[in-house]
Structure 1
Amino acid sequence: PARHCGPASAHGPEPRRGRPRSAAAERAILDAVVELLEAGEPLARLSIERIARTAGVGKATIYRRWSDKEALFVDVLRAVEPSDPVVSGTAGLDDLRLMLEWVRTRGLAHRSSVFLHNVVAQMKSHPRLWAEYQRTVIAPRRAAMLEAVRRAVDAGELRDDLDTELMNDLFLGPVLMRTLHHPEAPLPDDLVDRLMHALLQGLAPKAQVAGGGPVTGPV
């Protein structure tokens, strides 16, 4: 989503004039936090007073929408990230593919944005903020992906004799490895399709699978 970047002075962005209301006020507050962070203000030093002044609203306007800074910052990160994928909620593998593709494109967005990279890095050094982000953003996304895996099992698209969380991790793990832990790894457009094909076909040699040979190691 587009972000408004106001003019910066020696003390950071100039505050907005007037007091916008409702949805406009919420947008002004989120934009104000982004502006301050882009101007180099660390998360730890951002106060509600400074955010309110920059947004041109009163502190009470902020507290009516967010209980504390942690909740506000999580919404800021949501606002600057790619929107969550729209899935059918009824399909199995098709929905799973859409969600994995979203993880891939999100990884590309983080690579191309120094701002996003810095904000996420700062969040990790604030335990309460990181825990709130995990609870309200990461956990629901994981739950949605697990539901897609379960729908795929019910539809006969995936095996029904394996733990669904294990299968979910098998699909998600390689994409997270490339986007989070191996940032120089390529993220080509066909990555998700190739990954899903490899997992669905199996990783054992074809001759071994055709001959019914044993697969060593725990499953």
Structure 2
Amino acid sequence: MSLAGSQAAPGAPVRGRPRSEAVERAIMDGVMGLLEDGVPLAELSIERIARTAGVGKATIYRRWSGKEELFADVVRAAEPPDPVLPGTSLRDDLVALMEQMRQRALVTRSSALLHNVYAQMKSSPKIWAAYQATVVDRRRRLQIEVLRRGQRNGELRGDMDLDLLNDILLGPMLVRSVMRPEADLPDGLSEQIVDAILEGLRPAGARTGRQARTARQS
């Protein structure tokens, strides 16, 4: 896992050299450059990456525990950034999360490099596990927290299994992105999915997303 977010406790002695975003960027750009040149993931060693980036191997190991975690960070950096949640309603937050998935699918479709990298990652259990742990699981925790907040705010029925509900919400976008690569991913699809699912999941008497928007405009 990248050490980019680690910080020393107040008053603790500082060990090692200060982090350098420029160095991290050079390392990650070096990996991406090698992949663009057609070097398979399996043939990318830390030594080769260090030589390409113009740094020592120890510099890489200070930031990542191994190449699996480094690859996960490289792929995450190539994807659209995580959304800034509006925080105005459950519906708005879910649309923002879904839209990030749609944009990610569009980027993957248009990038032969990313498509190839994903395929190679899935063929390497260690690399795929690192991507799941540092990227996918983190996103899923955020999605579950958004749903949990919706329950607390009375926007969502309290008897729902949130883990199952999250799968139900993500399913349509994943089907179009992965199982139906020829399917359209048009503007407005995120809103369509969220509105269609939430209509049947709100507590009795709660306004629908359409009703709430109409009321705000009146």
Partner of 1:79: 77
Partner of 2:132: 134
Q: Distance in 1 between matches of 2:94 and 2:80?
A: 17
Partner of 1:55: 53
Partner of 2:64: 66
User: How is 1:40-189 mapped onto 2 (pairs within 5 angstroms)?
Assistant: 40-88=38-86, 91-189=89-187
Identity, % of aligned positions: 60
Q: Distance in 1 between matches of 2:138 and 2:152?
A: 21
Partner of 1:8: none
Does the aligned pair in 1 maintain the 2:30–2:53 contact within 8 Å? yes
TM-score (normalizing by structure 1)? 0.79
1:59, distance to aligned residue in structure 2 (A):
1.2
Does the aligned pair in 1 maintain the 2:90–2:150 contact within 8 Å? yes
1:89, distance to aligned residue in structure 2 (A):
5.8
Q: Distance in 2 between matches of 1:179 and 1:170?
A: 15
Partner of 1:216: none
Report the count of equivalent residues. 183
1:197, distance to aligned residue in structure 2 (A):
2.0
Q: Determine which structure has more spread, i.e. the larger CA radius of gyration.
A: 1
35-44 vs 191-200, which moves further? 191-200
Partner of 2:31: 33
One-letter amino acid of the structure 1 residue matched with residue 85 of structure 2: V
SS of corresponding position for 2:159: coil
82-91 vs 35-44, which moves further? 82-91
One-letter amino acid of the structure 2 residue matched with residue 157 of structure 1: E
1:182, distance to aligned residue in structure 2 (A):
1.2
Q: Distance in 1 between matches of 2:130 and 2:170?
A: 22
Q: Distance in 1 between matches of 2:100 and 2:82?
A: 7
Structure 1 portions without partners, runs of 5+ = 1-20, 204-219
Which stretches of structure 1, 4 residues or more, deviate above 4 A after TM superposition?
88-91
Q: Distance in 2 between matches of 1:163 and 1:38?
A: 42
1:38, distance to aligned residue in structure 2 (A):
0.3
Partner of 2:216: none
1:108, distance to aligned residue in structure 2 (A):
0.5
1:74, distance to aligned residue in structure 2 (A):
0.8
Does the aligned pair in 2 maintain the 1:93–1:149 contact within 8 Å? no
Does the aligned pair in 2 maintain the 1:90–1:151 contact within 8 Å? no
1:86, distance to aligned residue in structure 2 (A):
1.4
One-letter amino acid of the structure 1 residue matched with residue 182 of structure 2: E
1:166, distance to aligned residue in structure 2 (A):
2.0
TM-score (normalizing by structure 2)? 0.79
Q: Distance in 2 between matches of 1:137 and 1:31?
A: 19
- Greater relative contact order, per chain length (Cα 8 Å cut-off, separation 6+): 2
